[in-house]
Amino acid sequence: MKVEFLDLKAQYEGIKDEVDSAIADVLRGGKFILGEEVLRLEEEIASYCGVKYAVGVASGTDALVLALRVCGIGEGSSVITTPFTFVATVEAIFRVGAKVIFCDINPQTLNIDVSKLHEKITGDTKAILPVHLYGHSVEMISLMEAARKHNLIVIEDAAQALGGECEGKKLGSFGKAGCLSFFPTKILGAYGDGGMVVTDDEKLQDMIRLLRAHGSKQKYNCETRGYNSRLDELQAAILRVKLKKVDTWITLRRNIAKLYREQLEDTGVIVPFEAKYAKHVYNYYCLRCRQRDKLKNYLASKQIQTAIYYPVPLHLQDGFKSLGFKRGDFPVAEKMAEEVLAIPIFPELSDTHVHCVADAIRSFYR
């Protein structure tokens, strides 16, 4: 039985009528940039995340860049983050001209190890950029405490974690700003690129609105050097249809995770951890396993697609050689990069498929 890693066509089949009509409405309306749909979506996402403001931008990466910039992070500042994340997190820090400081991860959550933060703080440290990897919360209560103590700004990378929670509070709503991605494979995915910054800070949201549209409130009067980074109307209209389903989809993801956990119990693989404080949204379901690459090939031979998030920690990637790190500098991240394997999870995945994946994993280790 073939098991796709992610089947976006199946999702579209379930919402086709609503999506098609939302798209047609935008086309008929003739307004494609920063119209009603973007405004409504911004209100809806702000309310969903439990914050006052949300600003739509062109991608999750841009959400990070703009959030860093409006928080005053640039040359001369350093930002603490995890080496075990998607490249965009660190790319954003580079793009505003700040210095990257890596802090190793916790082997259970695979998120930044909050107990190691204080060793990393220096005089020019201005911010912490925690990433809620795979949809599982960073230990935000102690992270916020550490940030307050050292007077650091917190910007959350919640690109994989829309709907996720820490102690009942939505991820993205803890820091000065939270960054969301609407890349098609994320929890709330557009049919193209898109992103959003969520915040309670009115000044901050005003500045992001200014920066995303060339730094000009009035046409042809540039107040500050900006960007062209807007979420477009078509994507916003599509996302508004999907946002109404997102809690149901998260529940389905959590049910699949529960079934995997039961099915994989006796196989020797380590299933994803969900801390007491966390509500995991399982954007990815990443196992830790022995003989990972062999298992991946074996599953491929059974037509089961898998993926690796992430095979090489950022400090060992060529593009970041200039940071001067070497193997051994972040041993937990390095070990995890050799063990993690993401198996299929998406709301439309059937129980039969889950059983099929689990059976294949069991037969590999037998």
Residues that bind ligand PLP (CB under 6 A): 59-61, 85-86, 88-89, 131, 157, 159-160, 181, 183, 193, 195
Task: State the minimum distance, in angstroms, from the CB of residue 91 to ligand PLP.
Answer: 9
Task: State the minimum distance, in angstroms, from the CB of residue 172 to ligand PLP.
Answer: 12
Question: Nearest Cα to 63, choosing from 151, 164, 157, 160?
Answer: 157
Residue closer to ligand PLP, measured from CB, 280 or 353? 280
Q: Is there a contact between 133 and 82 (Cβ–Cβ < 8 Å)? A: yes
* Strand residue runs (E) in 146-232: 153-157, 165-166, 169-170, 177-181, 195-199
Q: Is there a contact between 156 and 175 (Cβ–Cβ < 8 Å)? A: yes
φ, ψ (nearest 5 deg) of residue 63 = -60, -45
Residue closer to ligand PLP, measured from CB, 160 or 199? 160
Task: State the minimum distance, in angstroms, from the CB of residue 89 to ligand PLP.
Answer: 5
User: Can you tell me the distance from the alpha carbon of 62 to that of 65, in angstroms, rounded to the nearest whole number?
Assistant: 5
User: Can you tell me the distance from the alpha carbon of 34 to that of 188, in angstroms, rounded to the nearest whole number?
Assistant: 20
User: Can you tell me the distance from the alpha carbon of 341 to that of 294, in angstroms, rounded to the nearest whole number?
Assistant: 11
Number of continuous H segments (helices) and E segments (strands) in the chain: 12, 12
Neighbours of 13 (CB within 10 A): 10
Residue closer to ligand PLP, measured from CB, 156 or 353? 156
Task: State the minimum distance, in angstroms, from the CB of residue 160 to ligand PLP.
Answer: 5
Q: Which structure tokens are listed for 255? A: 């049910």
Strand, helix or coil at 259?
helix
Q: Which structure tokens are listed for 349? A: 């995945």
Task: State the minimum distance, in angstroms, from the CB of residue 86 to ligand PLP.
Answer: 4
Residue closer to ligand PLP, measured from CB, 190 or 356? 190
Strand, helix or coil at 147?
helix
Task: State the minimum distance, in angstroms, from the CB of residue 83 to ligand PLP.
Answer: 12
Residue closer to ligand PLP, measured from CB, 61 or 263? 61
* In the complex, residue closest to ligand PLP by CB: 60
Residue closer to ligand PLP, measured from CB, 160 or 235? 160
Task: State the minimum distance, in angstroms, from the CB of residue 98 to ligand PLP.
Answer: 16
Q: Tell me the residue type at 360.
A: A
Q: Tell me the residue type at 270.
A: I
Residue closer to ligand PLP, measured from CB, 179 or 356? 179
